[in-house]
């Protein structure tokens, strides 16, 4: 393992965060805080409890997870897209750096940034609502697993996209709707039985449900199923990345 190469990629990507701190850190924290103000305080005060938890507190895991997904994808996709766009990716591919080391550097930095944003939002949420974390280990587990999985997914998008429009089309037209329909703002039990079953085909449901369970021990699906599904998504991303580097898809042409 070429730790120097991994460290160099990781430090470069993290340095980009501090150069664009308003976009990378402040913007997602402020926008998510507005969700707490509007949905948690204004609307939440008029809604009944969900599973014995106030609506404002119920929102916290969903909003953190929503921000985690979007930040993981955007950080990783932009991180690998610009070397392809500028042509510097060929220097990296010709260097004595393995595909695993390249992925580890980019995905590690993207996941770190996403976890940082999620942690700041979680800390900010305590200013607006009273909440508790019953299972901090599982909360951290879901936080890291989700950030890593979707950073890999964003890395794949960054390789697949050949223009800025494609770079944003999947996060905006697919991931964002799935996040809103994944139980971030409501419990699946509120839906008619038919739509409850349909929602189980939404992968975000398992992420939000498992993450919310670590806070309040309430979930729409079993927490074990949530962990297994998250590991399944992670495995799919690893297999796809292996195929991309083995075939050179969108990298060597």
pLDDT, averaged per 10 consecutive residues of the chain (253 residues), comes to 89 84 76 74 69 85 90 92 87 87 94 92 84 92 95 95 87 89 88 90 94 93 94 96 90 72
pLDDT at 42: 64
pLDDT at 17: 78
pLDDT at 49: 79
pLDDT at 43: 67
pLDDT at 53: 87
Q: Length of the chain, please?
A: 253
pLDDT at 40: 64
pLDDT at 126: 84
Whether the model pTM is above 0.85 = yes
Q: HSE of 203 in the Cβ direction (CA atoms, 13 Å)?
A: 15
pLDDT at 56: 82
CB count within 10 Å of CB 191 equals 16
Alpha carbons 45 and 236: distance in angstroms, whole number: 41
């Amino acid at each position: 393992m070429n730790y120097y190469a991994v460290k160099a990629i990781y430090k470069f990507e993290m340095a980009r965060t501090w150069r664009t701190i308003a976009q990378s850190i402040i913007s997602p924290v402020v926008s998510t805080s507005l969700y707490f103000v509007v949905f948690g305080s204004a609307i939440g005060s008029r809604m009944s409890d969900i599973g014995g938890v106030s609506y404002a507190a119920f929102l916290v895991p969903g909003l953190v997870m929503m921000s985690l997904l979007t930040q993981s994808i955007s950080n990783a996709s932009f991180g690998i897209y610009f070397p392809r766009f500028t042509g510097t990716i060929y220097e990296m591919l010709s260097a004595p750096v393995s595909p695993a080391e390249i992925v580890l550097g980019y995905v590690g930095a993207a996941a770190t940034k996403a976890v940082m944003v999620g942690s700041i939002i979680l800390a900010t949420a305590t200013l607006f609502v009273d909440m508790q974390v019953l299972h901090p280990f599982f909360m951290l587990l879901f936080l890291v697993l989700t950030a890593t999985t979707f950073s890999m997914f964003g890395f794949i998008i960054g390789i697949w996209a050949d223009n800025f429009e494609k770079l944003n089309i999947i996060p905006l037209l697919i991931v964002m709707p799935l996040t809103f329909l994944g139980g971030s703002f409501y419990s699946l039990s509120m839906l008619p039985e038919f739509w409850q079953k349909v929602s189980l085909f939404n992968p975000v449901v398992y992420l939000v449900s498992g993450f919310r369970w670590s806070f309040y021990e309430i979930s729409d699906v079993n927490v074990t199923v949530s962990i297994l599904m998250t590991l399944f998504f992670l495995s799919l991303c690893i297999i796809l990345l292996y195929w991309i580097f083995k075939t050179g898809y969108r990298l060597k042409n």
